[in-house]
């Protein structure tokens, strides 16, 4: 079973990095930003390859259904 997890790093200067793991779709951005906002201002966002791969998988699934019809 997949768990929804967050990896949080707080460096020696207090800067915070939040990484989501196992949170599907664009909701991962919402979750990460909500956690970051607990302690300060969101400075930047970086969507990794996995974020975009998820969108590709959704597109592929839709195409298959269209072909069957």
Partner 1 sequence: MSTVLVLATPLVIAAWPTLTAVISAAVGTLGFAVSQKAVPQVRQVRDAVNRAEIEVEDSEILEGTGATGEEMVVERDGIRAVFSRDARGSLKLCLEGRDLSKSELKQLGEDLIGRVTQQYVYHRLVSELKERDMNIVEEHVTDDQTIKIRVRHL
Which helix (H) or strand (E) is 4 found in, with range?
A: none
- Closest listed residue to residue 43, CA positions, set 14, 66, 23: 14
Residue 41 or 68: the one with the smaller Cβ distance to partner 1 is: 41
CB of 64 to partner 1, least distance (A): 21
Q: How far apart are CA 25 and CA 7, in angstroms?
A: 17
Give residues in contact with partner 1 (CB under 8 A): 2-29, 32-33, 35-48, 50-51, 54
Question: Which tokens belong to 26?
Answer: 């664009």
Nearer to partner 1, 27 or 62 (CB): 27
Least distance in Å: CB of 33 to partner 1?
6
């Amino acid at each position: 079973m997949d768990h929804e997890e967050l990896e949080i790093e707080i460096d020696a200067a207090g800067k915070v990095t939040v990484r989501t793991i196992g949170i599907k779709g664009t909701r991962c951005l919402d979750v990460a930003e909500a956690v970051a906002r607990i302690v300060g201002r969101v400075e930047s966002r970086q969507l990794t390859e996995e974020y975009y791969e998820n969108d590709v998988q959704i597109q592929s699934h839709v195409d298959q259904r269209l072909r069957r019809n």
